[in-house]
Homo-oligomer: A and B are copies of this chain.
Amino acid sequence: MAEGKDRGGLRRLEVAALVLVVLLTAAAGLAHYLGAPSLLAFSIAALALAGIAWTVSFATEQVGERFGPAITGVLQSTLGNLPEFFVVLFALSAGEVVVAQTSLIGSVLANALLVLGLAMVAGSFRSEGKVMRFGRRLPNDTATLLLVAVFIISLVGVSVAVDDGAANHVKAISVIGAVFLLVVYLTWLIPYLRSDRGPSRGQARLAFAPAATLLLIAGIGAAFVSEWFVAELRPTIDRLGVSETFAGIVIVAIAGNAVENAVGVTLAWKRRHDLAISVIKNSVSQVAAFLFPLLVLCSLFFAQPLTFSIAPIFIVALFLTAIAVWQITGDGEGSVFEGVALIALYLILAVVTLYD
């Protein structure tokens, strides 16, 4: 593989960032094992987790560059959800089912409402006529995927609300529903990858071997830091006196998606509207229609199963979010007002969970 002149290794800023991530990870480990105050240990773990998410994203970009932008995009969003995947796994193994579920739901809602809203405010504020324009296909496909997820969750929710003895069936229905949801997601993903070459992201500046090694290390790091993060979560919740649902919907969801968040909003600000919408929407649909069902299946190996049976307030919030996001972005246009409306929806939800 010929090394181009742009491939002169990493930029100084990138090296500094990687060093910072290593230091944060070490600090998070020390804080965890030396029994630092939970609030401090939790905060450092959250920062380290965000750093690792960025590292995974960066390394994937370098590895993926060999395969072209489409595969890179998928690798990036899939591996970018690695920290979140581990957080939910560790939460499940620690018996924190509510936190596991609400951090998945919160991830969908934070991306679909808060991040998309911020990106729409940034993007439309900087556009001519204060209207941001983007392709209509992806927002509508994301709406379809969200509606399928909402359909399963709603039917399970109604079954549970009406008939208390449906506990075993909820697990069986969730597993079957998860398989269907994954099939639908893959049916969408494969032609999307084939048809859309996506925007070029410039050239890789790392050779394959070191990039793959970096990815492997970051993946292992994600697993460790996630465990520390989850371990400190319960004492932090008790210390702050917030509800479990607030922790999941707001704290974990924002910490776990900080990087994607920043990327999406920054792209919108730079007037790269389609790419911004693509990063955010893919993140939403991947958590709802890939990560959630995948974790439902994975949880079969745990004592505590993860199911699609969630609290009624989140069923309603997810459904209304799917509708509102479709209504607002389905026409391929965004305004400051629409962005503010999405942000307001997230804040209202955060307030309601705060009082939960």
* Stretch from A23-31, A197-205, A309-317 at the B interface: A309-317
B154 near A337 (CB under 8 angstroms)?
no
Whether A140 sits at the interface, judged by CB under 8 Å, is: yes
Whether A216 sits at the interface, judged by CB under 8 Å, is: no
Whether A127 sits at the interface, judged by CB under 8 Å, is: no
Residues of A participating in the B interface, judged by any CB pair closer than 8 Å? 130, 136, 140-141, 143-145, 147-148, 150-152, 154-156, 158-159, 161-162, 166, 169, 172-173, 176-177, 180-181, 183-184, 187-188, 191, 311-313, 316-317, 320, 323-324, 326-328, 331, 335-338, 340-341, 344-345, 347-349, 351-352, 355-356
A35 to B278, CA, bound (A): 63
- Given A169-B355, A347-B180, A348-B180 in contact, is the A313-B148 Cβ separation under 8 Å? no
A184 near B348 (CB under 8 angstroms)?
no
Which residues from B are CB-within-8-Å of A347?
A: 180
Chain A at the B interface: SS class: helix
B355 near A181 (CB under 8 angstroms)?
no
Count of this chain's copies in the oligomeric assembly: 3
Best-buried of A145, A152, A352 by chain B (most CB within 10 Å): A352
Tell which of B152, B183, B344 touches A148, judged by Cβ atoms closer than 8 Å. Answer: B344
- Given A184-B341, A191-B335 in contact, is the A320-B150 Cβ separation under 8 Å? yes
Some 5 contacts from A to B, beta carbons below 8 A apart, are A144-B341, A147-B324, A180-B347, A184-B340, A326-B327
A143 near B344 (CB under 8 angstroms)?
no
A177 near B351 (CB under 8 angstroms)?
yes
A161 to B311, CA, bound (A): 12
A351 to B341, CA, bound (A): 34
Which residues from B are CB-within-8-Å of A181?
A: 344
Known: A144-B324, A158-B312, A326-B327. 19 other contacts (CB 8 A): A136-B331, A140-B327, A140-B331, A144-B327, A145-B341, A148-B345, A152-B348, A154-B320, A155-B349, A156-B352, A158-B313, A169-B355, A173-B352, A176-B351, A180-B348, A184-B340, A187-B336, A187-B337, A191-B335
Which residues from B are CB-within-8-Å of A156?
A: 352
Among residues of B, the one whose C-beta sits closest to the C-beta of A148 is B341
A160 to B328, CA, bound (A): 28
Which residues from B are CB-within-8-Å of A147?
A: 320, 323-324, 327, 341
A320 to B340, CA, bound (A): 23
Distance (whole angstroms) from the CB of A41 to the closest CB of chain B:
31
B317 near A188 (CB under 8 angstroms)?
no
